[in-house]
Structure 1
Amino acid sequence: MTIKEIKFVRVAAGSNRSIGLWGSGDNCTSNSRKHAYGGRTNMGLRQKAGRTSATKDYLIELPDGILSEIISRLTLKEAVRTSILSKSWRSIWTCHSHLLFDSVNILGNRIYSKSISCCQSESDRQLQRHHFVEKVDHLMHQRQRGLKIDSLAIRFHLGQEFAPHISEWIQCAFGKGVENIDVDLSEWSSFKIDSVPVDELERYIVPCSLLAASNKRCTLKHLQLAFCSLFSVPSSGSLASLISIKLQDVNINDQQLENFLLICSSLEKMSLHACNNLVKLKFSYPKVRLKILSIRNCFRLESIELGAHNLTTFEYTGELTTFSFKHAPRLAEVYLSFTGQNRQDGVNSALTRFAHDIPHLQTLNLVSVLAMKTLKLPNKVVNFTNVQAFILTVFPFHDEDKFDWIIYILKAFPLLCSFQLNLFSPSYIRKSNILPRHLPECPHMHLTKLEINGFCGSPHEIELLKYLLDNLIELGELVINPCQKVFNGFNSWDFEEASNSHNFRQEVIEWFHKFVPPTIQLHTL
């Protein structure tokens, strides 16, 4: 429902016509219309005034449940604008339980425009910051009259200069039983710019004493912080209700994070992204219920010790570091994407050492950001005895590839049931001078589902697929997709059209139907 639709209801409610929410029914006859138009010139000013004053404001008679339903269907910006519809509606927007304060809702779309933001000086941006804070102050003052706040999101480039205001907004939300808080004070949250130098702001320091107040029942379940600092942790107080936390580009060190986790006894999901003050991470707290841990691009990280007994999922993106999985008996799903100069060693470790380090591993999701032919896999295969699902992303997948790695995988994962292969072949297609590869037979007796994404019908892709079809004895389902599949974290995926996907032509599909046995269920997307 929009503001225009609400205005439509209001006008209809004040008339003598029978009108619905989405349409009208005019009960006037042609004679009554004629009388209405004919008598217009005879109506005096006094009569007009009498009719106007007698018009009843039917909006005030709507039940509270309907009012709340109407407001909940609006954006925050639209909800605030309902105050112009009726005197009784001046504060009705305060029942809106989801508060999103960003440049679009507070300052308008023009501030979010890249072309305009690029031309703004730092003094102009500072002026916008003051306008933003002033308007949010006004809205939060009004919102104190309302009931529960379910979520509060602050997404604007603000620094420690505005700390009293930001803390007051958060405190107000806590007073209203907030469950979700998202504070993103990064530059890109409000000013969309490309390589334009800006003054570095002193980061807002999140008052942990405010988050973990000891004299109030904690209601916060989900917390996201970006571009701020999280320093002191109160000796008393608790965040026992907190279930998930995401820290992105947050100033916090090892000891501060450890102290913070000690007051989060119900925490199940944690994401650490670009927190570059972290060096040696330890998750060895018996009282912490942590089940899912994601660490991305924390570039100073040297070691990770996982001692969370309930941990089931671990995702890591970054340079090769020292891992310890000795006290993670339930760890069953791992995602690994190594960057930097040692990424080859990282892939080698994942395909060898992790078989012993994570004995209960069931799902391995591995990204190889290098040519697979450069891998130095051992001649003696190390078996992953419990892995049933393996996801391998190969970037790039060159036509010079020798396919030694696929033979190793078929041997190293004897109980594998599902194999997903995400290929990122070079955009150019050239006639390969590589002679047909003479690969040894390597029959696999358990794999039943094969999914290949980024398949465009290049000769080396077809040769790889043919080899798999010849060796996957129990294969029952084959999924082929020319689009590239990209992992976003927490079992979330995106599909992107490959630059050479036009090569996925009819003759390639005909090849599938010719060489894929009828006993295999084929899906081409």
Structure 2
Amino acid sequence: MARDLISKVDGILKNHSGVGMKKLELNLYCCRKVDHCYLNSWLRIAFRAGIEELTMLLSLISEAEYNFPCSLLFSGSEKSIRYLKLSSCVFRPTAELDCWRRLKELWLTNVLITDDELECLLSNSSMLELMWLFRCNEIVRVKIPCQLQRLSFLRAGQCRKLQEIESNAQNISSFDIGGSNLVKISFGGALRVKNMRITCSYQPNVIWYTRTKPMPSVLNVETLHISSCNEMISTPTLPSKFLHLKYLHITLNANEAISPAYDYLSLVSFLVASPCLETFIFVVQQTDMKHDSIVGDISHLRQLPEHRHDNLKSVTIVGFCSAKSMVELTLHIIKNTSSLQCLTLDTSFGSCGCSVDKPGGCNPMRRDIIKEAHRALLAIRTHVEGIIPSRVMLNVSGPCSRCHVVERD
């Protein structure tokens, strides 16, 4: 099958006159073995035609690494290439190759490129608007020069050795960083970042880090996504503010249970720091619950000093559980948010419910998780439903009643 595909592509490109060719997409994920002579020949044809967009996606498990032939760009596309998307190859641009003056989008996935090589490319790409780096595992430090005034979107994800991103570009509006560990980020004087996503798959306490050590650009965002693999330290209340933040999405993941040391009520710190916040989404993903449950607890419920959140309209908590501190967080929001219009509490731990119109059933849930979801529903009935103002729409979802039924002990 792969051989037939290669033969077909070869025949099409060799018989093409090149007239009108502006875009070439080579999606060769399924081809573990591709003779590099074919690839060079196809690229030579495309570059001579003066293509503007090139996508070349090779197999991650290719039998041999392919070295992208930058020198071929001098055959016609040195002044035309605007879009470059590469995967699973070696990419070695040098300062001598002045081929990127019109480049607007750069997408590199599983590409071997060093810090110096990337810096050389960027220093000659003054028209660049978007850069996406994913699993580029030679990169340790990304340095973005100030002449990239059009760069508005920057994403770096799962680059295993990446330790630092330093940007002097002034107009980045969307920034997305993700990986195993936290990366040092410096934006210089760039304070125009409006959308930011910070994801860390192995290092805990990312929520705490974002709140306690915010860079100036974070304080100016309007949309903020934070994802942490666990939190052992509660979120402190600090004087720093997110004065423009309107949309906050926090995800807390754990292979088993979220650490019981984490106080869900401490997330009020973000609400207090965000006077313009309109939407708050909190997602908890865990396979167990170790926090103290409010069910059967007759102790006093904590109330924080009054803080008004009078622009907050929509709150969603996915993975709502019976943890006392999570109920306290919910009650705080209800009592201190006169603008609240919709409150959604999902106790199903992200399991999609089935219906008579959909074949099959729900994803399986462990018995103890189903029981915890029912405790969460009881907590909602006992502590939440009775204080919901009539103006607020309360949406509550739980485990599918057809697939996730647990008999009482």
TM range (shorter): 0.7 to 0.9
Using structure 1 for the length normalisation, give the TM-score: 0.61
C-alpha contact 1:233 1:256 (8 A) present in aligned 2: yes
2:120 is paired with a residue whose SS is: helix
Match of 2:247 among 389, 392, 398: 389
Match of 2:189 among 327, 350, 364: 327
Q: String of CA shifts for 1:100-134, please: whole Å, max 9, x gaps.
A: xxxxxxx2xxxxxxxxxxxxxxxxxxxx5x55533
Q: Structure 2 matches for 1:104-503, cutoff 5 A? A: 107=1, 132-144=5-17, 147-148=20-21, 150-156=23-29, 162-176=35-49, 178-187=51-60, 201-211=63-73, 213=74, 215-216=76-77, 218-233=79-94, 235-318=96-179, 319-341=181-203, 343-344=204-205, 346-354=206-214, 356=216, 358-371=218-231, 374-375=232-233, 377-378=235-236, 380-396=238-254, 398=258, 400=260, 401-426=262-287, 432=293, 435=297, 437-455=301-319, 458=322, 460=324, 461-481=326-346, 482=348, 484=350, 499=365, 503=373
* Whole-Å separation in 2 of the counterparts to 1:155 and 1:224: 13
Q: CA deviation at 1:282?
A: 0.8
Q: Tell me which amino acid in the other structure corresponds to 2:302.
A: H
Q: What is the distance in 2 between the residues matched to 1:483 and 1:299? A: 30
Asked whether the 8 Å contact 1:381–1:411 carries over to 2, the reply is: no
Q: Distance in 2 between matches of 1:429 and 1:339?
A: 21
Unpaired runs of 5+ in structure 1? 1-106, 108-127, 189-199, 486-495
Give, in angstroms, the shift of residue 375 of structure 1: 1.4
Q: Give the structure with the larger helix fraction.
A: 1
- Greater relative contact order (Cα < 8 A, sep 6+): 2
Shift of 1:361: 2.4
Query: For structure 2, which runs of at least 5 residues remain unmatched after alignment?
Result: 352-361, 398-409
Is the Cα–Cα contact under 8 Å of residues 291 and 311 in structure 1 kept in the other structure?
yes
Provide the rounded CA distance (Å) in 1 between the counterparts of 2:396 and 2:235: 32
Does the 8 Å contact 2:271/2:309 carry over to 1?
A: no
CA distance in structure 1 between the partners assigned to 2:309 and 2:53 by the alignment: 48
Structure 2 counterpart SS, 1:300 = coil
1:315 is displaced (CA, Å) by 0.7
Structure 1 479/376 Cα, relative in aligned 2: closer, same or farther at 3 Å? closer
Amino acid aligned to 2:212: T
Aligned residues of 1:484 and 1:498 also touching (Cα < 8 A) = no
- Report the CA distance between 1:139 and its aligned residue: 2.9
Query: Counterpart of 1:519?
Result: 391
Please report how far the alpha carbon of residue 350 of structure 1 lies from its aligned counterpart in structure 2 after TM superposition. 1.0
Output the CA distance in 1 between the equivalents of 2:334 and 2:307: 10
In structure 2, C-alpha distance between the alignment counterparts of 1:163 and 1:410, rounded to whole Å: 55
Distance 1:179 1:441 in 2: 59
Q: Which residue of 2 aligns with 1:102?
A: none
Distance 1:288 1:208 in 2: 25
The answer as to whether partners of 1:398 and 1:425 remain within 8 angstroms in 2 is yes
Deviation at residue 312 of structure 1 after TM alignment: 0.8
Q: Give me the whole-angstrom Cα distance separating, in 1, the residues matched to 2:194 and 2:79.
A: 32
RMSD: 3.7
Give the match for residue 407 of structure 2.
none
Task: Give the secondary-structure state (helix, strand or coil) at the position aligned to 2:36.
Answer: helix
Please give the alpha-carbon distance, in whole angstroms, between the structure 2 residues aligned to 1:214 and 1:445.
Answer: 61
Query: Is contact 1:152-1:173 (8 Å) kept?
Result: no
State the alpha-carbon separation in 1 of the partners of residues 288 and 25 from structure 2.
44
Deviation at 1:332, TM superposition (A): 2.1
TM-superposed CA distance for 1:292, in Å, is 0.6
Structure of larger gyration radius? 1
Q: For residue 194 of structure 2, what is the amino acid of its counterpart?
A: A
Whole-angstrom CA distance in 1 between matches of 2:281 and 2:331 = 16
Letter in 2 for 1:275: C
Aligned-partner Cα distance in 2 for 1:280–1:367: 22
Amino acid at match of 1:334: M
- TM-score normalised over the length of structure 2: 0.76
Tell me, in whole angstroms, the C-alpha distance in 1 between the residues paired with 2:154 and 2:164: 15
How far apart are 1:251 and its partner, in Å?
0.7
SS in 1 for 2:111: coil
**2:44/2:72 contact within 8 Å kept:** yes
Task: Measure, in 1, the Cα distance between the counterparts of 2:51 and 2:240.
Answer: 50
